[in-house]
Amino acid sequence: MVAETMADAKITDNDCFYKIEREGLLSFDMADLSERLGREYTVHDFLVNMTSYYGRIVVNDAGVEIHADILPERFRD
């Protein structure tokens, strides 16, 4: 999915984990992942598999986004 939807992302195999990096935004859509897997894949399933991150994360039912911009609107209110 990463290779198709975020072709400019850099994926590194670190033997027991993959590191995925991209300028600006990494976006993981749960509906897309579910369709590709042929079964429901929730944000909680995703977070069990996501070991770590850096940047600013946004979690909701639809997906997980990791932004390079660390000053979000939701923190400005």
Which residues here bind other proteins, judged by CB under 8 A?
14-17, 43-45, 47-61, 68, 70-71, 74-75, 77
Shortest Å, Cβ 2 to other proteins = 18
Shortest Å, Cβ 32 to other proteins = 17
- Residue with smaller CB distance to other proteins, 2 or 43: 43
**Rounded to whole angstroms, how far apart are CA atoms 51 and 42?**
16
- Residue with smaller CB distance to other proteins, 3 or 71: 71
| C-beta of residue 49 within 8 angstroms of C-beta of residue 17 | no
- Residue with smaller CB distance to other proteins, 7 or 12: 12
Of 70, 43, 41, nearest to 57 by C-alpha is 70
Alpha-carbon torsion (68, 53, 25, 73), positive or negative? negative
